[in-house]
Amino acid sequence: MICPNCGATLNDDSQFCTACGAKLEPAPAPAAVNEPAPAKLANVCMQCGTPRTGDELFCKNCGASLQLIEPAAQPAASPEFPAPQTIAAQVPIQPAPQPMPVQEEVRPMSGPTYAQPTPGINPTFEAAPSNLKEFVQRFCDEKTQKTLKTSGIILYVFAAINLVFALLNGTLPLDAIILAGLGYWFSKSYSNKCAIAVLAYAILSMVLSLVYNGTLSGWLILILGVVLFTTTSKAQKAFDSYQSNGQIPMQ
Does 49 score more than 60 pLDDT? yes
Task: Look at residue 226 in the predicted model and tell me its pLDDT.
Answer: 93
Which candidate, 179, 153, 146, places its Cα nearest to that of 165? Answer: 179
Counting DSSP H helices and E strands in the chain, the numbers are: 6, 0
Q: Are 192 and 232 in contact (CB under 8 A)?
A: yes
Written as one string, the DSSP assignment of 56-72 is -SB-TTT--B-B--PPP
Does 48 score more than 50 pLDDT? yes
Task: Look at residue 52 in the predicted model and tell me its pLDDT.
Answer: 76
Which candidate, 220, 215, 209, places its Cα nearest to that of 155? Answer: 220
Q: Are 128 and 112 in contact (CB under 8 A)?
A: yes
% of the chain at pLDDT higher than 90: 21
Read off the DSSP letter of residue 15: S
Does 35 score more than 50 pLDDT? yes
**Span 74-121, pLDDT tens digits:** 655 555 555 555 544 555 666 676 777 666 665 655 555 544 545 544
Task: Look at residue 58 in the predicted model and tell me its pLDDT.
Answer: 80
State the number of CA atoms in the 13 A half-sphere of 199 facing the CB. Answer: 15
**Span 153-178, pLDDT tens digits:** 999 999 999 999 899 988 889 989 99
Q: Is the pTM of this model over 0.75?
A: no
142: Cα separation from own chain's centroid:
49
* Beta bridge pairs of residue 67: 41
Instruction: Give just the sign of the alpha carbon dihedral 134, 239, 248, 115.
Output: positive
**Span 191-249, pLDDT tens digits:** 899 999 999 999 998 898 888 888 877 788 899 999 999 999 998 888 888 888 776 65
Does 68 score more than 80 pLDDT? no
Average pLDDT over residues 118-141: 71
User: Which backbone phi and psi does 141 adopt, to 5 degrees?
Assistant: -70, 165
Task: Look at residue 75 in the predicted model and tell me its pLDDT.
Answer: 58
Average pLDDT over residues 121-132: 63
Average pLDDT over residues 1-5: 78
Domain ranges in the chain? 132-245
CA–CA separation, 231 vs 225, rounded Å?
A: 10
